Amino acid sequence: MPCLGQPIGRSIGHPTPRGFTVVELLTTIGAIVLLVAIVIHAATAVRRGADRAEESAAARSLGVAWSAYATDHRGAILPGYADGFRARNVDGEWIDTQTVPVAARRWPLRLAPYLGHDFASFYAGADADRLAELADAPTDEALYAVSAYPSFGLNSVFVGGDENHGGFSPIFEQTFGRFYATRLSTVRHPERLVVFASSRTDEAAPGTTGEIREGFFRVLPPRWATPLWAEVYDADAPASAGFLSPRHRVQGEDVAIVTTVDGGVETATVEELRDMRRWSDQATSEDWAMQPQ
């Protein structure tokens, strides 16, 4: 006779197996999705942190090489973009005999010997994969790409000189004076003056636009004789912030990596870099612009 309250047909101590309810299944799936999202977010943060650290190290190497160039040239600062300068490759051959002469006008190929011709400093972090692509490209194409699209741009308008922005021009010098730094000894604020910065462009060729790509040899200041930056930064228009690239994220803000004359490496937002005192050693205010003498 079964015990009172025990259903007939069931043995005591052996309950019938029961499956998951819909609520339990949904809860389990939700927990798994949440865990996967957390893992992906953590992995992404780690990867971004590694890219930022690698790019910061490359920026520091560029700063050291840039200073070494000046030391080797009796204090003269590396020109950013200028005709009449030549560069050699790792074999000691003149580069402008192998590729279009414009490549030697840009600073990367003239700075390369001070980096042991190791282009890793030009393509750091997320751009490092480009080195493998360049290794398989013809020499002239590879050298042109290195000269035009390194991960960092040089503040050539006010540091070293840029012939596309009045540098090395007697007329501009008569009008504005020597508005760009040409010697280390003349720089009054090496701790804040930007030399290199993370860059990006949509210039596929002179006068043309194309797909946005990280890396460009030049970064322009917010102002020159006229404003060069848009009032509002547009991530889809690199020129809106002078080809600066705030491609890193730190504490919820998009930042660029910059190198200063004294060799310091830091991160800064686009808004922080609107201060002209970061770009020109002659600037006396955030909204300073060149004025005729």
Residue 176 reports pLDDT greater than 80: yes
* Average pLDDT for 240-264: 96
Tokens 């010997």 found at: 113
Q: How many domains does the chain have?
A: 1
261 HSE (CA, 13 A, CB side): 28
Q: Would you say residue 2 lies in a domain? A: no
Residues 6+ apart with CB under 8 A from 198: 55, 151, 152, 153, 214, 244, 245, 246, 247, 248, 256, 257, 258
**Residue 127 forms part of a structural domain:** yes
Residue 81 tokens read as: 């973009």
The tokens describing 28, both together, are 């389990």
pLDDT at 64: 96
Tell me the C-alpha distance between 87 and 157, whole Å. Answer: 21
Across the chain, mean pLDDT equals 86
- Residue 85: what pLDDT? 79
Average pLDDT over residues 117-146: 83
Pairing of strands 152-154, 200-205: unpaired
Phi, psi of 34 (to 5 degrees): -60, -45
Check residues 171 and 11 and name the one with the higher pLDDT: 171
On whether residue 196 sits in a domain, the answer given is: yes
Which of these ranges, 7-21, 30-44, 127-141, 185-199, has the smallest mean pLDDT? Answer: 7-21
Q: Are 105 and 38 in contact (CB under 8 A)?
A: no
**Distance of alpha carbon 268 from alpha carbon 25, whole angstroms:** 47
Model confidence at 286, pLDDT cuts 50, 70, 90, reads very high
The answer to the question of residue 4 being in a domain is: no
Answer yes or no: is 79 within a domain. Answer: yes
Decide if 14 is inside a domain.
no
Token pair for 167 = 């540098």
Work out the average pLDDT over 249-256.
94
248, part of any domain: yes
Q: Which two tokens stand for residue 188?
A: 């009054």
Q: How far apart (Å, rounded) are the C-alpha atoms in residues 273 and 255?
A: 10
Q: pLDDT above 90 covers what percent of the chain?
A: 60
Distance between CA 127 and CA 41 in Å, rounded? Answer: 21
pLDDT, tens only, 1-30: 444 444 444 445 555 556 667 676 677 777
* 287 in any annotated domain: no
Predicted confidence at residue 4, as pLDDT, reads: 47
Containing domain of residue 108, as a range? 22-278
Q: Which residues contact 204 (CB under 8 A, 6 or more apart)?
A: 210, 211
